[in-house]
Each structure stands twice: as C-alpha cells, then as structure tokens.
Chain A
Amino acid sequence: MLLDWFTVVAQALNFLILVWLLKHFLYQPILDAIDGREHQIATKLAEAEANKIEARKEREEFRQKNEAFEQRRATLWSSVEDEASLERQRLLNEARKEVEGFRNKWQAALSKEHQSLSEEITRQTREEVFAITRKALKDLAAISLEAQMTDIFVQRLLGLSSTERQELQSAFQTASPPTIVRSTFHLPAPQRHAIEAVAKDVLGIQTQLQFETDPHSVCGIELTANGHKVAWSISDYLITLKSRLDELLKQPPKPSVKPSGLSKP
C-alpha cells in the first residue's frame, strides 16, 4: 500500500507544526534582524547625508571666511606696503639730508683745513725764505736782509718814471700826515734814514715818517699815507711758489721705485 492515511495525517500535522516553529525560530528573527539592519543603515545614511549637508555648509562658511580673510589680509598688506614705502622714502630723505649736511660740513672743514694749511705753508715758506736769504746774504756779502730789503725798496722808488713820480708826489703831498712806513722786521737807523731821504727826494714828503713793525704782514716794506701806498714785498714770489706747489700736489703720485736689493724671495 503506497498510501497510508495515518501517515498522511501525521505528516500534514508535522508540516503545519514545522511551519509554525520555523516562523518563530527562523523567519521572524531573520526578518527582524534584516529590518533592524536596514533601519540602521537608513539611519546612518540619513546621518551621513545630514553630516554631508552640514559639512558642505561649514565648507561654504569657511570658504567665505577665508575669502574675507584674504581680502582683509590683502588690504592690510597693501596699506602696510604703502606705509613702508612712505617710511622708506622719509628715511631716505632724512639720510640724504644728513649725508648732505655731513658732506657740507666735511667740505667746509676740508676747505678750512686747506686754507689753514695754505696759510701755514705760506708762513713757513716765508720764514724759511727769510732765514735762507738772511743767512745767504750774510754769508755771501756780509749784509743784512733788512738792509737789502731797504736797498731794493729805495731802488724801486728811485727807478720810478717821471710820470709815476708826479702822480705819487701829488698823492702824498695832499695826504694828511702821518705817513707810515710799515715793515715785517725792525728797521735799523741807517735804513730808516735812507728811506726818509728817498721819500723826501722822490715823493716830496716833508713830514717825519712813522716807522711800524708788523710781523704778521707779508714780508716787505710799505709806505702808506691817507689811503696811498708804495710797497715792496715778497708776496709775488710767494704766490708763484704757492701756485707751483699746488700744481705739484695736484699731480698723481708716482709709483715708488723698489730698491733692487730688497726684492722678496
């Protein structure tokens, strides 16, 4: 017998029991787990979407802030650059002025120094010239410098042309006394007499001459009265000497010649 009705009923019951059991122990828990996971995933996706929107919003905010910051930075930088440029210009101007001032001072100091040096050279030269001349004259002809100077002064007066003599005579005769004879050194009595004599003869001066010594004046003898002056001095020689010295100083220095015996090994 292929069909056993008891077995049929029992199997139908078994099957229905199995349906019920599997529903409670298999399908429902599995479906619940799947639903839970789907819900969880949906929640996470929603959260992710919300986070994404939030992130986008924050990114936009950040971008705007960044742009504002960049603009502010550019503005500040520009103003700082302008200020720095102005400050630089101001400092440069100050520095230029300062340099200009220093240069002017330096040039003035240099000029002053040059002048004092020139005066010193002139003075030294004069003294040296006098000393040399004095010694040379004394050694060669046993005559003094004062005598020679007086002699030259007298010779110069005597050597004047007649026109010059007339002009000088008219000038000194109209001049009010005293007539001053000024010399660098003290003139001895013979020289004074000689000058007085030639002044009387050549210039027609009748009044007593007044002799003065001025050690700071340019070396020589001068005769002055009321703005008129007849003089002889060594200033021409000194000017010539000074111009030659200046020319020598302006020349570039020549290279020094090494001694042959001192060459380095």
Chain B
Amino acid sequence: MHLSPDDTIIWQYGIFRLNTTIVATWGLMLFLIIGSTIITRNLSTALKRSRWQNLLEIIVMAILKQIEEVGLSHPRKYLSFLGTIFLFIALASLGTIIPGYEAPTGSLSTTVALALCVFVAVPLFGIEEHGLGGYLKSYLKPTFIMLPFNIISELSRTLALAVRLFGNMMSGAMIVGILLSIIPFLFPLVMSLLGLLTGMVQAYIFSILATVYIAAATRTRHVPSHSNPKVTP
C-alpha cells in the first residue's frame, strides 16, 4: 500500500520523474480544456442556448457570486485563479468514481503546490491592490510586535491548506482501500460516496479559504472585518 500516487513512477530521466500524479493532472487538464473548447466553440448570446453552455454559465456565475459574497469587489479579476482551484480539486475528487484512478489531490506534492500558489498569489494580489509598501505595512498591524506572528500565520495557514486537503483526500482513498480488503461489498461503495462528498467539500473549502486570504490581503483596513465569513474545516 502506498500513501501517495507520487510513488507510482511511470517514466524517469534523472530528476524528471513522470509519476501518476502528474499524468492524472495532465489528464484532468486535457479534459477541462477540451471540454471547455468544445462547449465554448458555439456559444450563444441569445436567450436560447445549449444545456452544456447553461451548465458552464451556472458554474461560472456561482463561483463569481461566491467570490463576491466573500468580499472581493471585483470578482472577475480573481475568477481565473480561484475558479481553477475549485474546478481542479472538484474534478480531481469526482474522478475517483473511475476505477484505477488516483486523485492527484491525494498527493501532498499537489496540495503543497496549490498551497504555494495561493501563498504567492495572496501577496501579489495585495501588492497590486495597495502597492508594495501598503501591503508590507499590513504585517505591522495592529503593532509591529505582531510582525513575527503575522509571518508565522502566513506560513502556517499555507501549510494547513496543503495538509488539510492532502489528509482528507488521502484518507478517503486509504479508507476505501482498507475496507476493500476487509469488507469487499457495499460498504466500500458507501465510503466511496462519502469520499466523493468530502472531496467536493474540500474543493469548496480550499477555494473559499484562498478567496478569504486574498480578500484579507486586498481589503482596505477601514472595512469592518466581521464581513469575513468564518470558515472552519
């Protein structure tokens, strides 16, 4: 039993190791891009439109609305980043219904990579909004004494993002694997369904936390902070 799909090496050349995680990610990317291209090839601006276009519009509008509700005033600017996080994680979890498939989000490397992306994106969006000085000053708020705690907070929350997603996805796969060896009928199916639900919830949590972090970095300080949704995993 292996804990991570990184362990399954398909091709290796020096440090370049093509493992299951990367291949599955490519597969998901291909699916998303080809699907999007096919659906958006004949988009209709009229009132009558195809069902697939309708589905994509619902998804995109729901993500936009969610971003706006968290407190970002220009949700379209963050749609690509946050929407892709959600779609990637959700699709990675949804793929577990395919036999033999291993979710790339079940790999700590993937979750760390996503967390690092958020870790980098948050200050970038903050600097874009307030400038470098304005953003860095936010680490000294409310007093300069809080500077180390703010830095630790940044790092720890990034680590928490990565480990939370990895733990949940990996545990789901592990539980199903273990149960298959003990009770091979019905029960693993129920657990698999539960894992699917957990994956969706994790996709939502990851993307909404990223949104909250970005919102916190880009928000002007006089805005009351109680508008932040309190999301706990």
**Contact across chains for A22 and B80 when beta carbons are under 8 A apart:** yes
For the complex, what is the distance from the CA of A17 to the CA of B47, rounded to whole Å?
33
Q: Name the one of A10, A14, A33 contacting B44, with C-beta atoms under 8 angstroms.
A: A33
CB distance from A165 to the nearest CB of B (A): 141
**Contact across chains for B26 and A7 when beta carbons are under 8 A apart:** no
Assess whether A18 is interfacial by the CB under 8 Å rule. Answer: yes
**Contact across chains for B113 and A34 when beta carbons are under 8 A apart:** no
**Contact across chains for B116 and A22 when beta carbons are under 8 A apart:** no
**Contact across chains for A18 and B15 when beta carbons are under 8 A apart:** no
Contact A11/B16 with A4-B6, A18-B29, A26-B36 known, Cβ cut-off 8 Å:
no
Provide the residues of chain A in CB contact with B3, threshold 8 Å.
2
Size of the A side of the interface (Cβ < 8 Å), in residues, is 35
Mark contacts of A9-48 with chain B using CB atoms, 8 A cut-off: 1 yes-contact digit, 0 otherwise: 1111011111111110111011111101100110000000
CB closest chain-A residue, reference B107: A7
Provide the residues of chain B in CB contact with A10, threshold 8 Å.
22, 113
**Contact across chains for A8 and B84 when beta carbons are under 8 A apart:** no
Contact A6/B16 with A11-B110, A18-B88, A21-B33 known, Cβ cut-off 8 Å:
yes
**Contact across chains for B57 and A33 when beta carbons are under 8 A apart:** yes
Assess whether A189 is interfacial by the CB under 8 Å rule. Answer: no
**Contact across chains for B53 and A8 when beta carbons are under 8 A apart:** no
**Contact across chains for B114 and A30 when beta carbons are under 8 A apart:** no
For the complex, what is the distance from the CA of A12 to the CA of B16, rounded to whole Å?
15
Assess whether B93 is interfacial by the CB under 8 Å rule. Answer: no
A contact face: mostly helix, strand, loop, or mixed: helix
Contact A7/B22 with A22-B32, A22-B33 known, Cβ cut-off 8 Å:
yes
Q: Name the one of B19, B56, B83 contacting A4, with C-beta atoms under 8 angstroms.
A: B19
CB closest chain-A residue, reference B108: A2
CB distance from A99 to the nearest CB of B (A): 81
- Residue among B32, B56, B80, B83 with the highest chain A CB neighbour number at 10 A: B80
**Contact across chains for A29 and B47 when beta carbons are under 8 A apart:** no
**Contact across chains for A8 and B44 when beta carbons are under 8 A apart:** no
For the complex, what is the distance from the CA of A4 to the CA of B47, rounded to whole Å?
49
**Contact across chains for A8 and B43 when beta carbons are under 8 A apart:** no
**Contact across chains for A7 and B21 when beta carbons are under 8 A apart:** yes
Contact A26/B56 with A11-B25, A14-B22, A15-B88 known, Cβ cut-off 8 Å:
yes
Provide the residues of chain A in CB contact with B16, threshold 8 Å.
6
Contact A26/B46 with A14-B22, A17-B29 known, Cβ cut-off 8 Å:
no
Provide the residues of chain A in CB contact with B147, threshold 8 Å.
none
Q: Name the one of B15, B33, B40, B81 contacting A30, with C-beta atoms under 8 angstroms.
A: B40
Provide the residues of chain A in CB contact with B84, threshold 8 Å.
15, 18-19, 22
CB distance from A81 to the nearest CB of B (A): 58
Assess whether B87 is interfacial by the CB under 8 Å rule. Answer: yes
Assess whether A3 is interfacial by the CB under 8 Å rule. Answer: yes
Contact A11/B47 with A3-B109, A4-B109 known, Cβ cut-off 8 Å:
no
**Contact across chains for B6 and A7 when beta carbons are under 8 A apart:** yes
Assess whether B174 is interfacial by the CB under 8 Å rule. Answer: no
CB distance from B48 to the nearest CB of A (A): 10
For the complex, what is the distance from the CA of A9 to the CA of B25, rounded to whole Å?
13
**Contact across chains for B17 and A4 when beta carbons are under 8 A apart:** yes
Provide the residues of chain B in CB contact with A41, threshold 8 Å.
47
CB distance from A158 to the nearest CB of B (A): 141
**Contact across chains for B117 and A14 when beta carbons are under 8 A apart:** no
CB distance from B124 to the nearest CB of A (A): 12
CB distance from B74 to the nearest CB of A (A): 13
CB distance from B203 to the nearest CB of A (A): 14
CB closest chain-A residue, reference B120: A12
**Contact across chains for B81 and A8 when beta carbons are under 8 A apart:** no
Provide the residues of chain B in CB contact with A3, threshold 8 Å.
108-109, 112
Assess whether B79 is interfacial by the CB under 8 Å rule. Answer: yes
**Contact across chains for A26 and B110 when beta carbons are under 8 A apart:** no
Q: 4 extra interchain contacts, Cβ-Cβ under 8 A, other than A7-B17, A11-B21, A15-B113?
A: A3-B108, A7-B109, A14-B25, A18-B88
Q: Sample 7 A-B pairs with CB under 8 A, ordered by A number.
A: A4-B6, A4-B17, A6-B17, A7-B6, A8-B110, A17-B29, A25-B40
A residues neighboring B (CB under 8 Å): 1-12, 14-23, 25-27, 29-34, 36-37, 40-41
